[in-house]
Structure 1
Amino acid sequence: MQRIEYSAEIADLLGRVRRRPAAGWPWRPEEPVPQWLPVKQSWGWLFARDGRVLTLVNPKDGIVSLPGGSLEPEDGGDPGAALAREAAEEAQAVIGPAHYLGYLYDRVGSANGGHECARVRMAARLCAVGPSAPDPASGRHYRRLLVAPGLAVELLGWGEPGLRQARAAVGAAVRQLGVPAAANEAIEELPMAGCEVFPISG
């Protein structure tokens, strides 16, 4: 088994990670969202060339997340457009075309005023990140880590349902983005100044 590598600074950050309780939303892989079910959120597995994915850590509360969020009017009902906008706002990320993976069925509708809704999951290339900046919507200033998808599930606290979702994301990324099935296991913080990660031309 490959040793996971990370710096002392990342070790300190990961030591403060706090996992959200699992929501228990059923995962519907590859199923189209029914027309009667509104899509309220879009979140993404954003892949580097070596198979790692972008995770965001809020250093104030230790909460880990994938890039993404609620659909806004300017997204025109397009989950891919919402993901690209949210990734840019939260992580200053530039992404490639987003590939639909499936959705989570939120029966309680906490993102939809108490009415049932869908929370879409997508996969895309993480092409580059710009200089680190606070999210304009929340003021949160996220730390940007590249981690293997399995470790992302652990940091997110999603358990076995999260692993099923990660496997779907990896499968799509292998087929459509050309990433390796076995990701690099090193944990890397992306530089504050920004960098290229996985150019579309690559």
Structure 2
Amino acid sequence: MGSIEYSAEIAELLGRVRRRPTAGWPWRPGEPVPQGLPVKQSWGWLFVPDGRVLTLVNPRDGVVSLPGGSLEPEDAGDPALALAREAGEEAQAVIGTAHYLGYLYDRIGSANGGHECARVRMAAPLHAVGPTAPDPASGRHYRRLLVAPGLAVELLGWGGPGLRQARAAVEVAVRQLGIPTAANETIEELPADGAVLG
């Protein structure tokens, strides 16, 4: 296996990464969300043509995340619409058709006022990002990194369950988006003024 390439600036940013403790929500790959279980969040594995995915780093606290968030009324209950909107707000990302991967079952309901809910995961192509801007919902100004899916799991701190989720995302992306099975291992920060990605 070759060495992972990245700049000194990225090394400094990765040195500040703080992993969230895992919530332990069971992963339900490929299963439709059961009727009556509300979908409260939608997050995405957004792939560029070389197999890397977009991760967001909050430089204030070092927390890494995938693009996504809560469904809002304008999403009309559609996790794909929520993902496209949230990716645009958080990362100024333009994505293609989102493909359903499965859901995380949140029995505690921390995203639903203490009532059980589903947190959907999707895979989609990342076509472009615009100039960086703060997320209108939180004011966070994320740094945008392209990384191999396995490294994304490490940065997210998701362990074995996260790796299973990443594998499901890669399988769908290989089949539906034509990405390679082995991703480029270079860690790249996307330009602040935006980029066309594929």
Is the shorter-chain TM-score for this pair beyond 0.5, marking a shared fold? yes
Instruction: Give the Cα–Cα distance (whole angstroms) in 1 for the partners of residues 2 and 78 of structure 2.
Output: 39
Instruction: Give the Cα–Cα distance (whole angstroms) in 2 for the partners of residues 14 and 150 of structure 1.
Output: 15
Give the secondary-structure state (helix, strand or coil) at the position aligned to 2:56: strand
Give the secondary-structure state (helix, strand or coil) at the position aligned to 1:125: strand
Amino acid at match of 1:127: H
Q: TM-score with structure 1 length normalisation?
A: 0.98
Q: Which residue is equivalent to 2:147? A: 147
Amino acid at match of 2:191: P
Q: Which residue is equivalent to 2:78? A: 78
Q: Which residue is equivalent to 1:128? A: 128
Deviations 1:103-138 (A, max 9, x none): 000000000000000000000000000000000110
Q: Which residue is equivalent to 2:12? A: 12
The structural deviation recorded for 1:36 is 1.1
Instruction: Give the Cα–Cα distance (whole angstroms) in 1 for the partners of residues 162 and 2 of structure 2.
Output: 22
Instruction: Give the Cα–Cα distance (whole angstroms) in 1 for the partners of residues 59 and 68 of structure 2.
Output: 18
Instruction: Give the Cα–Cα distance (whole angstroms) in 1 for the partners of residues 35 and 145 of structure 2.
Output: 36
Instruction: Give the Cα–Cα distance (whole angstroms) in 1 for the partners of residues 8 and 101 of structure 2.
Output: 35
2:25 maps to 1:48: no
Q: Which residue is equivalent to 1:92? A: 92
Q: Could you tell me the percent identity over the aligned residues?
A: 84
The structural deviation recorded for 1:176 is 0.1
Q: Which residue is equivalent to 1:22? A: 22
Q: Which residue is equivalent to 2:177? A: 177
Instruction: Give the Cα–Cα distance (whole angstroms) in 1 for the partners of residues 85 and 181 of structure 2.
Output: 27
Give the secondary-structure state (helix, strand or coil) at the position aligned to 1:40: strand
Q: Which residue is equivalent to 1:107? A: 107
Deviations 1:35-89 (A, max 9, x none): 1100000000000000000000000000000000000000000000000000000
The structural deviation recorded for 1:156 is 0.1
Runs of 4+ that moved beyond 3 A: none
Instruction: Give the Cα–Cα distance (whole angstroms) in 2 for the partners of residues 86 and 80 of structure 1.
Output: 10
Amino acid at match of 2:123: A
Amino acid at match of 2:187: I
Give the secondary-structure state (helix, strand or coil) at the position aligned to 2:17: coil
Instruction: Give the Cα–Cα distance (whole angstroms) in 1 for the partners of residues 137 and 22 of structure 2.
Output: 24
Q: TM-score with structure 2 length normalisation?
A: 1.00
Amino acid at match of 1:163: L
**Alignment RMSD:** 0.3
Q: Which residue is equivalent to 2:68? A: 68
Amino acid at match of 1:147: V
Amino acid at match of 2:77: G
Amino acid at match of 1:150: G
The structural deviation recorded for 1:2 is 1.5
- Alignment gaps of 5+ in structure 2: none
